[in-house]
Amino acid sequence: MIRVLIADDSAFMRMVLSNLFNKQPDFEVLDTAQNGKEAFEKTLKLKPDLVTMDINMPVMDGLEALAHIMKDCPTAVVMCSSLTKEGADATLKALSSGAVDFINKSGGSIMRIDNIEEEILSKCRGAANARIPGAVRRVITSTAAANPAPTGEHRKRDLSSFTTMAKPSFITSWRKPVQEEIPSRSSSNLVSSGGKNKLVVLGTSTGGPKALQSVVPMLPKNLPCGVLIVQHMPPGFTKSLAERLDELSEISVQEAKNHDLIEPGHVYIAPGNYHMVVAQGTKGREVELNQEPPLGTLRPAADVLFKSVASLGPDIVSVILTGMGQDGAVGMQDIKKHGGYIIAEAESTCVVYGMPKAVVDLGIADEVLPLQKVAAAIVKAVGH
């Protein structure tokens, strides 16, 4: 049973979320809080498995309450954020300060909660089982909570309308854990650099924003190749993520734009709601963005990016970091078949050991490393 504390200054929101959780067999609402001070005090007293925390609250806001909770009683926290520039920036700060994930409150409040019920439940189940440094973990016996679906039970991938620019002839049915075929758009048209111009591709999800702060700022500004990143996030939030990482890094970081030329010493983050692939342009490799159907519920998806570069073989250094689900495993199998290099984050530092585990279980990772060693491994692999 996942024991939840709901913190929100809106009585309507407290009621809506309470009703949602109370309908589930694996959740128990312990209490609610009207402001951050109450949330902090009740977290200390009740020791919930999970706190849902609104950002904008009186007396003490969600960010300050989060800081107190992570200092005095580390607990899994899922933030509730509005889709505004200020909301996105605050969310990124919260994720950097220890929040596991966030719920996007479109328009500032969840007025149509039925549209995002599965997202809320999936993120909260995942967060309740996340690795929180310093937290005293309680065994959660609920089957649904202990084995959360990556994005609810609807991870099946509808690829019927996914237009492919090119599909390599070697594609076969994949073995477990992921068996669906992921199409490749532009990979067969890419020009291999013969090892002289590598490309780094990276995928991550839950826990990713904080993990990326341990990797991207450690990359040198003279890295001789470009880096492409897929972070599962909705529109608006990826721009704030890119800006935050750019402020922290010597290497240049930006939200990717369609037809960006991929330059050395530059990091390109896929914008929310767009798949990102790599194509061969007249001046070199470039970014292509599209809104082909989501893979399950994911757009962007790491598998789409990885498949698009697989034919570059030894030129590719691919990285998978913390996240729920299995996104990236299929694409990395393709990269491995072509001789690319694969780095997976170790379980010991993952917030959620899902995406890296899927790769490690396939036996295709060249290195399995704690987060603090990933950046150095990328630099070394690029130099080989």
Phi, psi of 101 (to 5 degrees): -160, -175
- What is the biggest distance separating any 2 CA atoms in the chain, rounded to whole angstroms? 62
* Segment 363-367 long-range contacts (CB within 8 Å, at least 24 positions apart): 364/332, 364/333, 364/336, 366/341, 366/342, 367/342, 367/343
Distance CA 165, CA 225 (A): 25
Q: Tell me, yes or no, if 101 is annotated catalytic.
A: no
Catalytic entry in 205, 240, 311, 318: 205
Q: Tell me, yes or no, if 327 is annotated catalytic.
A: yes
Which residues, including other chains, have CB under 8 Å from residue 291's CB and lie 6 or more apart? Answer: 273, 274, 275, 299
Helix (H, G, I), strand (E, B) or coil at 217: helix
CA–CA distance from 74 to each of 31, 98, 242 (Å)?
A: 18, 9, 27
Element holding 359 (H helix, E strand): helix 355-361
Q: Tell me, yes or no, if 308 is annotated catalytic.
A: no
* Segment 245-250 long-range contacts (CB within 8 Å, at least 24 positions apart): 245/212, 245/213, 245/216, 245/217, 245/269, 248/213, 248/216, 248/217, 249/216, 249/217, 249/219, 249/221, 250/217, 250/219, 250/220, 250/221
Catalytic entry in 232, 266, 275, 338: 232
**Tokens 């991929």 -> residue:** 262
Are 316 and 201 in contact, with CB atoms under 8 Å apart? yes
Are 276 and 300 in contact, with CB atoms under 8 Å apart? yes
Catalytic entry in 260, 303, 315, 327: 327
- What residues does 231 pair with on adjacent strands? 204
Token digits of residue 115: 């549209």
Tell which residue, 312, 313, 315, 219, has the closest CA to residue 268: 219
Give the torsion through C-alpha atoms of 340, 207, 329, 159, to 10 deg.
-120
Distance CA 292, CA 331 (A): 17
Number of H-type helices and E-type strands within the chain: 12, 14
Which residues are the active-site residues?
205, 232, 327
